[in-house]
Each structure stands twice: as C-alpha cells, then as structure tokens.
Amino acid sequence: MKAEALRIDADRLMRRLERLAAIGAIEGGGCARLALTDEDRAGRDLVVGWMRALGLEVAIDPIGNVFGLRRGREDVAPVMTGSHIDTVRTGGRYDGNLGVLGGLEAVETLNAAGIVTRRPIVVAFFTGEEGARFAPDMLGSLVYVGALALPAALDVVSIDGRRLGDELARIGYAGDAPPGVHRPHAYVELHIEQGPVLDAEGITIGAVADLQGISWQEIAITGQSNHAGTTPMRLRHDPGYAAAAIGGFLRDLARELGGSQVCTMGKVDLHPNLINVIAARATLTADLRNTDEALLREAERRLALFVGGLAHAEGVTIATRPLARFAPVTFDAGVVQLVERTAARLGYSCRRMTSGAGHDAQMLARICPAGMIFVPSVQGISHNPAEHTAPADLAAGANVLLHALLELAA
C-alpha cells in the first residue's frame, strides 16, 4: 500500500484505550493512576508488553521514562512521539494515554504495511507528567531534557509523604538507560485539548502553536488553634480564614488581570479539620497560568503582596514554597505547519491554538523541534472522569500523528 493511503485502525486504538482505562478504573468511567502507585505500575506493565509485542526495543531511564524504539533504515536521530500514562486521582481515560497509545497505533499500522522509515521512531511515556502526586508536573520529561538534576528529582516527596526514588524502585521502573537516551530529531505529541475551543467551534484538529506559562506554589499558614465558640473574632489568628481569603483573592486576581490569566486553589488541607476548632494550620496550593510571562510574574507579585498583608492583618505565619515554574513555550513553526498541512491533506478541519494545559512536549521543545496535535474534548471537560472525546476524533488525531511521523521520519 502507498504510504499516503495508510490509516490507523480506530477499533484497535479504542480497544487499547479501554484496556488501559480498566487499570485504576474509577466510578464515572475515569482512571486513578497517580504516578508511581501500584496502578501506575500495572498500566506501565501493560503498555511495555504492547511495545514488546510490536517489536519495539524498550529502554527505561533512571527516572522511569519508558522508550520503545522502532528501528529505521538508518541509524540516525529518531523521531519521537508519546505522552504520559499517569493520571490525576480523578482523571479521564484519554489525557496522556491517547498520545502513547496513538503512537503505538501508528507503529502497528506501519508494521502491518511493512513500511520502514528512514529515521527510527520512538514511542515514549514520561514519568509523573501530572504533578498531582509529585511536583513539579512534567517531572520525567524535565529530567530527560536535562533541566532537573536526577538526584533532586529522586528526592521529591509526594503528597502522601513518599520519596520519588523509593516509589520508582518499589514499582520496578528505575531503569538503567542513559539519561537523555534516544535524543530526538523532532517530537510530536497527540493529546486531547482538555479545553472547550475545538468542541465549541466544531473543529477536529488543533495545531498547537504555543503553551501558557505555569506557576505552582504551596502556601502553608500557621495560626492559633482555639475554641470556635469562645474565641472573640478580634482575638483570632485563623488559618482557615486566611486560606479562604487567599482562595477568594485568586479569583479576583484572575478577573483583574483578565486575558488568559487563570488562578486555581485546587488543594486545601486544614488541621485538625473539625467543626468547632479554629484550625491550627492550613496548607493550600495556588496554580497560576498565563500566556504572557510578564503578566504571570505580575500575578505572582500581586499574590505575594496579598499574602504578606494577610499574614500581618490576621496575625498568622505564612510560608510559601515553589512547586513548579515554567515560562510560556512557543512550539516549532515547522512542526506546527506540518500538523496543519497533514490535517488538510487528510481532510480534517484544523485551527492553530494555545494549550492551557502543561505537556511533556513543552519540555522536549527545549532540545528539539516539537509540536502537538489536539483533538476535541467534549464540553472542554478534563481532569474529571467525564472527560470524553468522540472515537472518530481520537482516530483523526492518530491519523494526523501517523502521517506527521511518516514525514518527519522520511
């Protein structure tokens, strides 16, 4: 068959997505495979088994990133694709998984057609993309590109108090492939949009041109725990109140800065967390994102100012700890155009867009030309078991990936 006429097998792609989604399945059709948990290990084992069955040479690096290599006619830098298979605790079935299984589907399609590309093709999945258990997000790809030292990454402590290196060894994925193995010629990642744009506009493919900056921090508040009934309001030093005030401020901050600015208090823990006890401690997270680096810095500055004033006014101690900080990323113009061209050739509607979510591609962009292919998320719902993409759109994305890989590997 002429390469131009090749199409992926949509049913086979769906079957793999369903089998992976069965691991860590949660109510509502989603998945809980937090990084380096037993569920993550089971998901990894399944995908590695598929890689081997497809004839890929599997390499695992010391941070647990997994690479499946399909040899090319020449022993030159490979074209890489992939994503992640870890999820948030209330994840959907496509976030990350589509990019990895879409890559395997492309490989199987090439295998079936007997096509050997000039360049090798690598399908990768990176450790801890979500950052929900171990911060920062994109941790595995950050180490892969050399931007985070391995020892520091191995020492990251999870939200449940475990050291990353220990958990990686426990699940058997501390590999011995050299860091940065298979340095790519180019990287292209298929992912669901996770936002509302493509669905609202009825467009099948997003050619991702850029990705917004991300700033994560933990804010720990210490006050005076006391009786909720007897302590006059004027004598309170209340971490619960301070946490709520920061939550409210984040919403105001996003509204004031406008544009692409988004602010989220996604996690808050009160101690002792009882109805009639003024909390002793509160710990919360702030997630700030903006497409403009200067405005993201402004958001950070205003939050720090508010937190300082609040600590003084309420008489509490507030300590902040950075968890992740990534500047906005512009993807390679050549890869963006390749995605647009490929979508057009295959007859899919396509638009350029910005990614609101973080992705491994933004790290790979530091070492090679990189870009992304988005497919619609119904009603823009993601990080939620209800996350959904129509099977025809999943297949369209995988077909664009297949042909983008073919061109990059030619």
Q: Is 353 in the site for ligand GLV (CB under 6 A)?
A: no
Q: Is 193 in the site for ligand GLV (CB under 6 A)?
A: no
* Beta carbon nearer to ligand GLV, 78 or 358: 358
* Beta carbon nearer to ligand GLV, 187 or 216: 216
The Cα–Cα gap between 385 and 74 comes to 43
* Beta carbon nearer to Mn ion, 96 or 239: 96
The Cα–Cα gap between 29 and 43 comes to 16
Q: What is the DSSP string of 305-353?
A: HHHHHHHHHHT-EEEEEEEEEE--EE--HHHHHHHHHHHHHHT--EEEE
Which ranges constitute the DSSP H helices of 70-209?
Answer: 97-113, 139-144, 150-154, 164-170, 197-201
Residues sharing a CB contact under 8 Å with residue 407, sequence separation 6 or more, in sequence order: 338, 342
> How many chain residues bind ligand GLV (CB under 6 A)?
4
* Beta carbon nearer to ligand GLV, 17 or 357: 357
The DSSP output letter for 118 is S
* Beta carbon nearer to ligand GLV, 70 or 289: 289
* Beta carbon nearer to Mn ion, 96 or 140: 96
Q: Is 258 exposed, middle or buried (0-12, 13-18, 19+ CB in 10 A)?
A: exposed
* Beta carbon nearer to ligand GLV, 40 or 137: 137
Structure tokens at 55: 């004839």
* Min CB(46)–ligand GLV separation in Å: 21
Q: Is 136 in the site for ligand GLV (CB under 6 A)?
A: no
* Min CB(110)–ligand GLV separation in Å: 29
Q: Which spans of this chain sit near Mn ion (rule: CB under 5 A)?
A: 95-96
Q: Is 85 in the site for ligand GLV (CB under 6 A)?
A: no
Selection from ligand GLV, Mn ion, none that 358 binds (CB < 5 to 8 A by kind) is ligand GLV
Beta bridge partners of 284: 219, 268
Selection from ligand GLV, Mn ion, none that 137 binds (CB < 5 to 8 A by kind) is ligand GLV
Give the Cβ contact number of residue 125 at 10 Å: 29
Q: Is 397 in the site for ligand GLV (CB under 6 A)?
A: no
* Min CB(344)–ligand GLV separation in Å: 28
Q: Is 372 in the site for ligand GLV (CB under 6 A)?
A: no
Closest by CA to 209, choosing from 305, 384, 317, 350, is 350
Among 39, 61, 108, 137, which residue sits at the site for ligand GLV (rule: CB under 6 A)?
Answer: 137
Contact 191, 99 (CB under 8 A): yes
Among 61, 86, 108, 130, which residue sits at the site for ligand GLV (rule: CB under 6 A)?
Answer: 130
* Min CB(130)–ligand GLV separation in Å: 5
Structure tokens at 13: 């792609």
* Min CB(85)–Mn ion separation in Å: 10
Q: Is 332 in the site for ligand GLV (CB under 6 A)?
A: no
Q: Is 357 in the site for ligand GLV (CB under 6 A)?
A: yes
3 state DSSP class of 213: strand
C-alpha Rg value of the chain to the nearest Å: 22
Binding site for ligand GLV (CB under 6 A): 130, 137, 357-358
